[in-house]
Structure 1
Amino acid sequence: MLKIFFPLIMLIKLYKEWNTVLLALGILGFMMGLNCFHDFYMYSLGFSLGMDYLSFIMVYLSIWILFLVLLASSKIKEVNKFHFSFVSVNLILLLFLLITFSSTSYLFFYIGFEASLIPTLILILGWGYQPERIQAGIYMLFYTLTLSLPLLVSLLNIYFNSGSLVMQVSNLSVNSHINIWYIFMIMAFLVKLPMYMLHLWLPKAHVEAPVAGSMVLAGILLKLGGYGLYRVLIMFYMIGFKFSYVWVSIGLMGGFIISLICLRQVDIKSLIAYSSVVHMGLVLCGLMIFSWWGFMGAVVVMVGHGLCSSGLFSLSNMIYERMGSRSLMINKGLLSFMPSMAIWWFILSVSNMAAPPSLNMAGEISLIISMISWSDLSILGISLVSFFSAAYTLYMYSLSQHGLFYNSLYSCCSGKVREYLLLFLHWMPLNILILNTSLIMGICLK
């Protein structure tokens, strides 16, 4: 892992060279991609760091999204809005994320999990748009911190009982039947996921964050919740079976309610943020059922959602830079105003509703199979979530692209080459990886 960490630490020293950092992150992503040829369980071990199949995918996704974040945020460099600090904050955030995803110790994982909150908060407070960003940042901070202290207490309890905090070595053989440790352990991850009822910080944080903050939140930070559940639920599988029905019920019904909320949104970023809660509700269901199909589907949906949602946020930012507004009431008729961008709106919108050929479709099919095999009654919730997911995505696409653009009759504002490259680099892995889903869906089986 040090061959990834050392270049990244050296890049932080080069924070004044925007283009150099951008190119170096692209090369780092390419180097990371070459690691996919490993065919054994753990590799790059040392210094309490190491990667298995799931860690590899999450680390690769983190580097890729941060590369795209710098590509999307070039306006910060153009207007000279503290762009040196912006680069260093993003690189420090990436460093913490890599520590989180590649740690083999629960304590290391907890430190990285909590430390990633600080650069995200700086991104929202420093480069956000409205004064409400302070409230949004405090919401995010306190929601996460309030339920992270019980997680630390649980980890100390594990260390007291098993004498180790190394993943797959420590166990809760003494207290695994006690419900309170189970609740303490997973609540921090349910907030980060976020689960319905613990999601109120997410739309505020997304709406007030700059495009970099939104892309990082949707693309990587929400995956911390799923990844954390994946790592800790193995210790609680006996008690986890008893509570499965609670989490699946909340995931499906919460997804349905949030879908209805999406149909009332007029802010594009707010709508995309709420749709993240719907997708993560399905991921929660897949993880809590404890089946291979559920685990595989959850991983694939996390990767697909990270790419698709990040692409949609970058699209909404392109509109905001030109129009000065993200309101669906004002931004009508974009098909006439930005005709070449309409195809990207369409491609990413249909990927968001899990249409083929996208990773979201492969993941949701796997999740649906796992939920139906677990309980026939879940068909009702799945059908409601699937239908209304398509409904709010079509609502967003049709309301923004069609209609009369009344500001000026003959205006046309095409995209820049950088923006087309950015959108293509979101779309390509999202639709090409489905050609080899065995690479991703075979993670849990190896």
Structure 2
Amino acid sequence: MSFTWFRPEGPLRTREQIAREVHAVSLARGLDELATVIALMTISTEVGTGTGDNRKWWCPANDRVPATKNFPHDSKSDDNRSSGYFQQQPGPNGEPWWGTPEDMMTLSRAANTFLERLDDGYSAAANSPLMAGQFAQRVQQSAFPDRYAEKWDEAWTVLRRALNETPTTPEVPMPVSGDPVWLEDVLREALGDRLIVEDGWQTRGNGNGENGTDQMGPIWGVMIHHTGNDRETVAGIRDGRPDLAGPLSQCLITPDGKCHLIAVGPCNHAGRGSYPGIPTNMGNTRLIGFECAWPTIRPDGSYDAAQRWPDAQIITMRDASAAVLKRLGYDSAHVIGHKEYAGASQGKWDPGNIDMGWFRGEVQKDLDGFVFPGEHPPVDPAPGPVVPPDYAKETWDQLRIEWPQLGGRTLVDTVAAIGAKLGIEGCYDTKATK
């Protein structure tokens, strides 16, 4: 493994955090701790640095696969075209051997792919570092097959420490269920005056909720759409069209960067489709929809599929998505395009020419606190003067002492004496009257 850059702050995750996340994937697949250990042996071999307690596991991007840099990473490598914790790579002609760049750079997805390919007979390695390394090698096909076994002890130590620190259940936020009545507050904080709240939004939805209600179910994340017309109106999204009743999404984001909050309940925006983590055909009740007014329609009804999105619109799409995901406790993997959910079932291609991998990368930067060009980081107020603990006593002493250099007068008496000398009515010198 050859690293070319490390993030100064260090790895994205500790070894224990990585172990817990990988073990959560193992549990979800019905596997045991041994499967997790084989995966951790692989990670340590592929991306580990340091020795002993100072050892670290990294998530490198690779300049030879530029899309990997769109996702959270803490390092870079120039090891062929390999990237991520498992150093997975595309085929020689770009074939998705290990999935998309996002799959390779997302720990849970990369671990799932590794464990999916782990031989069912791996349990034979229960007490054998050598055999465990061989099972790892069958998946990885490394040029250095003997190195995996060397990480047996480290993998077990890290996993046991990780599982003793927290429960073995997956570390995921509690799902937020029901209508997102918090949308106005969350979007206002993120967007300021870019948010326009439409009358009646708090009671608007299509009425087709989950479990016989008119409410949203557990909210999985955000779906990005384009309207097919950059002149789309609030009324069009609110009321729908002849073939599809409104509301068509919770929000409409216009080319000028304004976000119109239109509805709170389920909306007719996702329709038929599926995506990992979202039950089939349940996008309307599991996803908050952002309809984005794009592209420009020419007089003859045609449009430019390569039309550039307005900066103001993209920025609001990013900020609004990040705000919702922050409220839900999710990372940028929970914002998807309509085409990723309904491309196969409905032939959808929205949001147009936006690369959703790139967009998720921008949303993640926002979630991580990145300061984008033109933004200003919060400035801490300048510290005030340091007041000594005996400040009040010192002040009182200064006022009441009869100072020799003032003729035995206090400060107040001195001011009064000066006033008397100047002929100011009511002022007198206490020493002159004695």
Higher strand proportion (structure 1 or 2): 2
Larger radius of gyration: 2
Query: TM-score with structure 1 length normalisation?
Result: 0.25
